[in-house]
Every structure is written in C-alpha cells, then in structure tokens.
C-alpha cells in the first residue's frame, strides 16, 4: 500500500493561512488523495479530496503537485476551531476490491494560537 508522510506538528496564528504538507511518492495512478481531520475527543471528519487537479470547498483547498507525489492542504484563515489532527490519506481499494478503506497514519497536529 502506498504511504503518506506528514510533519508531526505545526503551529499557526489565528486568522493566518496554514499550509499542511503531505508526501506520497509511491502513489498509484488511481489513488485519490483524501484529507480528514480529527478534533479532540471526536471521530474523524472529511475535509476534502482530489485526484489530479487542485480542489476548493467551503472548508479548505487542496493543491496537488503535477507529478502527484505530494499535496498541500490549505486552510485560508485558521481559527481556534481548526485545531485538530489532520490526516492525509490515499484512498485505496481493499484486497478484494469491493470496498475502499482508509489507511490512517499519525497525521499532523495543528495548534492555533491567538
């Protein structure tokens, strides 16, 4: 299975943009890049996903490198409520090909300060 590499932690000031990097050098052509986040004491929450092109939604933007070996999640204006662990995940088929599992690493813990 292709793996992702993320920094263990990052800090940001409130109201400033945050760029969370992810390396996935062994990504295959059919892998989607997903980002989830986990707020303290909660289940993971979907943030955004993409395949080849950059993507925007109401929560964040996803910038994908041309060779797809890395991506960056962009929070345009961090707030205290964005403090969470952010997971970069390649969406893979299971071995049987009948369901698509999420393989979680340890993610990046984002701290947001005033």
Partner 1 sequence: NAGVTQTPKFRILKIGQSMTLQCAQDMNHNYMYWYRQDPGMGLKLIYYSVGAGITDKGEVPNGYNVSRSTTEDFPLRLELAAPSQTSVYFCASSPTSGGANEQFFGPGTRLTVL
Out of 29, 40, 42, 58, the only residue in the binding site for partner 1 (CB under 8 A) is 42
Contact 92, 32 (CB under 8 A): no
Could you say whether residue 44 binds partner 1 (CB under 8 A)?
Answer: yes
Could you say whether residue 63 binds partner 1 (CB under 8 A)?
Answer: no
**CA angle, 45 then 52 then 60, to 5°:** 35
Nearer to partner 1, 10 or 14 (CB): 10
Burial, 43: exposed, middle or buried (Cβ in 10 Å; 0-12, 13-18, 19+)? exposed
Could you say whether residue 68 binds partner 1 (CB under 8 A)?
Answer: no
Nearer to partner 1, 47 or 78 (CB): 47
Binding-site residue total for partner 1 (CB under 8 A)?
28
């Amino acid at each position: 299975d292709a793996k992702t590499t993320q920094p263990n932690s990052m800090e940001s000031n409130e109201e400033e943009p945050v760029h969370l990097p992810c390396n996935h050098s062994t990504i295959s052509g059919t892998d989607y890049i997903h980002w989830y986040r986990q707020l303290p004491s909660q289940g993971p929450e979907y943030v955004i996903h993409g395949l080849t092109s950059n993507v925007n939604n109401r929560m964040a933007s996803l910038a994908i490198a041309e060779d797809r070996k890395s991506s960056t999640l962009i929070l345009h204006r961090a707030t205290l409520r964005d403090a969470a662990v952010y997971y970069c995940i390649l969406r893979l088929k299971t071995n049987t090909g009948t369901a698509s599992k999420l393989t979680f690493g340890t993610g990046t813990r984002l701290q947001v300060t005033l």
